[in-house]
Amino acid sequence: MDPNAGEGLLNPYAQTKVGNDTIFGWWARYQNAIAEGIDAVNGTIGALLEDDGSLAINQVVDEAIRVAPAVEIAAYAPLKGLPTFLDLAKTLAMGEHRDSLEELGISMTATATPGGSGALYLAAANFANRGDKVLLRDRYWGPYKGFLSGCDLHPATYPLLPPSENSLHPFVDIENFKLQLASLCSSQDKVMIWLNDPAHNPTGVSLTPDGRMAFLEAVMESASSNEGVGHTLLIDSAYHLYAEDPHGWGQTIREAVEEGWPWTENLLITFAVSLSKSHTIYGLRTGALVSIHPDAEVTEKIGTVMGVTGRQTWSAAPRVAQYTISEMHSSAEGGAAWGKERDRLKNLLVSRRNVFKECCEKHNVPLNPTHDGFFAWLEHENPEAIAEKCAEQNVFLVPLTGGVRIGLCAVPLEQIPRVAEALAHALQ
């Protein structure tokens, strides 16, 4: 394609949008192999598949959606979202710790969005100044960069893991995080941090309770020491309901407040909530941005700003899942039925991860630490070469910056050993 094509029609930023999505490109290669009759393994996509290869669907959710009243399918939702759904979103974000936080004087607001991606866009569009850097781990979901660049923002990173396995907090590099945070505070009057935890994409790493508290303390200390710098900590909780400790952040925040940690006016904590994975409704594009702060006037202002941003971007988020999911969770019976099915799907992931870790250990594959969620990760300086060698063995994975993502969510249990064997061969 001519790189100058459309130059007179597209603005300079639009012309930077080139290439294909890496994940979907490797998924297409897997599909082509299957079309040719090859016995191939799919470790590419970020959707949960049953062991027979079909899309895993929470049947309780599916049945509830299919009996939704016609008006709940066809009508607009309120611009900020259905009130019952916004209430549910706060509980999905913080779980059983929500009530305690509210009793401690923490105010909350929520805005419905088209999936977790919509929540990330709201944050990128409103919590940082154009031209600023946003602090991420150096291994992150690729579309983060697109959300940021679309708002004229740029990533600043710190290492995913500390340099020593004997670190006090083995799954977060607190010292480098503090250094990067201090650097941004010296040059920006707003600092935003995106942390995908628990069940990090693309690695499956989850912070320990001590690691969460150390991270939160670092942010609170920075906010206290830099009163003129607005601090926003965004917890991307896209996979949290498949984690061993799904509402750990709610607990950590509650404990910090109870212990009297200084929650200053210039610190906001916000959650990007997605129902795509937890309720297996990827295509219905339903999520929320949930923000919490000790000052109700702050959360009221944020609620207004997010509602206006949504109106100016996508109008209103889709209604049917907001209605259906909030109705389902409003009854103890419906919530329990959903939870039972969610647990079944979670156990698929647990079984696959356990077998994969055992097989990698057997074949001396230096797999990164991985605990929860959809993915595992192999750190490597030449991920393309590793992925290509695996593809030669008809095992399709995704090469990303710094390593190879293994989509355990998509690999049937019986094919897990093949993935470990392919990686071992590729590493040789």
The model's confidence at residue 424, banded by pLDDT at 50, 70 and 90, is very high
111 and 81 Cβ atoms separated by less than 8 Å: yes
- pTM for the whole thing? 0.96
Same domain, 303 and 370: no
Number of domains in the chain: 2
CATH, residue 138:
3.40.640.10
* pLDDT value at 164 more than 90: no
Same domain, 93 and 226: yes
326 within a domain of the structure (yes/no) = no
Q: Name the packing angle between helices 209-225 and 248-258 (round to 10°).
A: 50
Domain stop point among 292, 318, 344: 318
226: containing domain: 77-318
Same domain, 314 and 344: no
Residues 6+ apart with CB under 8 A from 157: 135, 136, 137, 138, 140, 180
Same domain, 132 and 181: yes
pLDDT for 47-100, tens place per residue?
999 999 999 999 999 999 999 999 999 999 999 999 999 999 999 999 999 999
232 within a domain of the structure (yes/no) = yes
pLDDT for 212-268, tens place per residue?
999 999 999 999 999 999 999 999 999 999 999 999 999 999 999 999 999 999 999
Q: How many other C-beta atoms are found inside a 10 Å radius of the C-beta of residue 297?
A: 9
325 within a domain of the structure (yes/no) = no
Same domain, 214 and 356: no
pLDDT for 353-393, tens place per residue?
999 999 999 999 999 999 999 999 999 999 999 999 999 99
Domain stop point among 318, 350, 377: 318
328 within a domain of the structure (yes/no) = no
Same domain, 220 and 252: yes
64 within a domain of the structure (yes/no) = no
pLDDT for 301-322, tens place per residue?
999 999 999 999 999 999 999 9
Instruction: Name the nearest CA neighbour of 293 among 259, 246, 257, 240.
Output: 257
Same domain, 398 and 299: no
Same domain, 280 and 375: no
CATH, residue 382:
3.90.1150.10
Domain stop point among 318, 345, 365: 318
Tokens 């490597």 — which residue?
A: 380
249 within a domain of the structure (yes/no) = yes
307 within a domain of the structure (yes/no) = yes
